[in-house]
Structure 1
Amino acid sequence: MSFGNDLAWLHYTWIDIGTPSTSFLVALDAGSDLLWVPCDCIQCAPLSASFYSSLDRDLNEYSPSGSLSSKHISCSHRLCDMGSNCKTSKQQCPYTINYTSENTSSSGLLVEDILHLQSGDGGNIFNLRNLFPKKA
């Protein structure tokens, strides 16, 4: 699925995250190793499909407390790049990413959960544990 601009350079897919699984529409970004989903939002984009001309279903908001497989990433975890900014190694790992667009960034706390992948015929291939940002 491509939309979001006239050049069609944004590509999206639906994925499922967590236990029980919840569906999310994510942008496939070859320049990043992260998938962004709205999470316990303070200021999120609208979630209603009626707000967007190309969606046939509502968007969801991820809540780590609503997933049985969600785990907080501590500052001592190997994937915590900002661990040196933590007061203790058991503190939850913060992240900050600044983009090249003016005044565009994302920050929060890292959370790990299961990413459910399916084959084209709908059968399960495997589940991955992945990192997802959480608001600070």
Structure 2
Amino acid sequence: MTQTAAHAGRLVADGFARAGARGYHYRVLASLDEFGPASQAALGRRSGIHVSDIVATINELAQTGLVERTPDHADRRRNVITVTPAGRQRLRWLDEQVLDIQNDLLAPLSENERTELRRLLGRLLSHHRAEAKQEP
């Protein structure tokens, strides 16, 4: 499992690099698209990106016009990050890249086997996320 996960990680990193993106970019854009605008701190928690990396990631996305950073009206010390139309378009394109990468990784499996693998991996992920939430 570890070797397959490492190979999958390399495929994704290489695919994003060819697209001029990073995994952090994808995670931030996907989080904003799915859950809406968020403070930098909330976005870091949602996307699983450490606070030391989230600001740099947002800066990169803002410089290319994929997200906007505006002061929070409720607390001027915070910024609210919002995905732009260009960011949504970029996310859709990156989604296609991820699909291609997944198809490459799963090439030896039949459609039924792919469905079963996704189901089992989802079950594992759900279990461990729930377990992590219960930790003190």
| TM-score tier (shorter) | under 0.3
| Greater Rg by CA | 2
TM-score, normalising length from structure 2? 0.26
Instruction: Using CA pairs under 8 Å that are at least 6 residues apart, name the structure with larger relative contact order, 1 or 2.
Output: 2
Q: Which has the larger strand fraction?
A: 1
